[in-house]
Chain A
Amino acid sequence: MVGLQHFLTLGAVIFAIGFFGAVTKRNLVVVLMCIELMFNAVNIVVVAMSRYLVPLAMQRAPDSTDAAVAQTLLTGQVFAVFVITVAAAEVALALGIVIAIYRTRRTADTNELKLMSR
């Protein structure tokens, strides 16, 4: 039987993998990819919560048929919408900087960025 815990654990696993990669990888683009893994993990978690958990509005009014109350079931999905949006913005910006770096340095290796870490 698959339940909430399964989804959450899956999210945690992907989050941890992404975290490991984000911390250890030297290629900027790969670091960015690992961060996207973390965001996806968060999305799995919030959407699963949205599906399995009873939101506060319904806890307060278990007999309400109010549309607004029912709607709060989807708060987790809204959460994911914003995560996706921000991720897109971050990737766009990251691409801009990566290309700027590439122009000046012709490399994308974080270990090459030694200019400042003396």
Chain B
Amino acid sequence: MTPSGLEQSTAFTVIWWVVAAMSVIAATLVVRLKDVLRAALALVGVFISVVFLFFMLNAELLAVAQLLIYGGAISILIIFAVLLTRDVHEGSPSNALQVPAFLLSAGLLAVMTFVINNTDWKLLSAARLAPAAQERAAEVFANSTPWLAGLLMRQFVLPFEVASVLLLAAVIGALALLREE
């Protein structure tokens, strides 16, 4: 596979449309379902769809991370929260802002769609890279994990370290709030 073009097979297209449809339907269900627990399960559906999308984008490490963190940890935390608060509140009602919020979201979507389709993106497939550079690029996508680790340890080491402090702060904060008097 060259870096300039993704797998443009029919299978790829078909799978993409299936996954995309799945994710959009699941996302809609999150918003529309009355039962909070079912909505949470729909959310897990979205997470899983995104895992597939990441695989299709040659982002294996991210796909795994998505599966573990989102599909695993975050889903469990959310379901935990749902179960904890479930006995007093069953449904997932909406507030009075339905119509304006819908118009706002629709407007946002329209603008973003316009932006996406009217921007001159500098596509990799169209870039005039030297053959050696193309090979190097293909190599990166073929085995992205070590390259990604390298990036995290070099260019993005600052946010990486700060993120660890951030996680620590969040955990301490959450524990402080949960501690019994």
Contacts and interface: CB of A to CB of B under 8 A. Distances in A.
**Chain A–chain B contact at Cβ < 8 A:** yes
Interface string A1-23: 11011111110111111111101
13 contacts: A1-B13, A2-B6, A15-B109, A16-B109, A23-B97, A27-B93, A51-B59, A62-B129, A71-B140, A71-B150, A88-B74, A95-B77, A96-B173
A27 B178 contact: no
Interface string A67-90: 111111111011011101111111
Contact of B95 (A14, A71, A89, A110): A110
A67 B27 CA distance: 39
A34 B129 contact: no
Given A37-B46, A84-B65, A52 B124 contact: yes
Given A23-B101, A43-B66, A93-B173, 19 more contacts: A23-B97, A29-B78, A30-B39, A36-B78, A37-B27, A51-B141, A52-B121, A52-B123, A53-B123, A53-B124, A65-B133, A73-B3, A74-B147, A86-B166, A88-B69, A91-B74, A92-B170, A96-B173, A96-B177
Contacts of B80: 95
Contacts, number: 291
Contact of B129 (A58, A74, A100): A58
A27 B123 contact: no
Interface residues of B, number: 100
B58 A51 contact: yes
Given A50-B57, A73-B141, A89-B166, A14 B24 contact: yes
B94 A25 contact: yes
Nearest to A85: B163
B177 A97 contact: yes
Given A82-B163, A96-B177, A30 B92 contact: yes
B116 A13 contact: no
Contacts of A106: 88
A63 B179 CA distance: 58
A28 B23 CA distance: 22
B78 A10 contact: no
A85 B57 contact: no
Given A27-B93, A71-B140, A92-B77, A84 B54 contact: no
A23 B108 CA distance: 13
Interface in A39-57: 40, 43-44, 47-48, 50-54
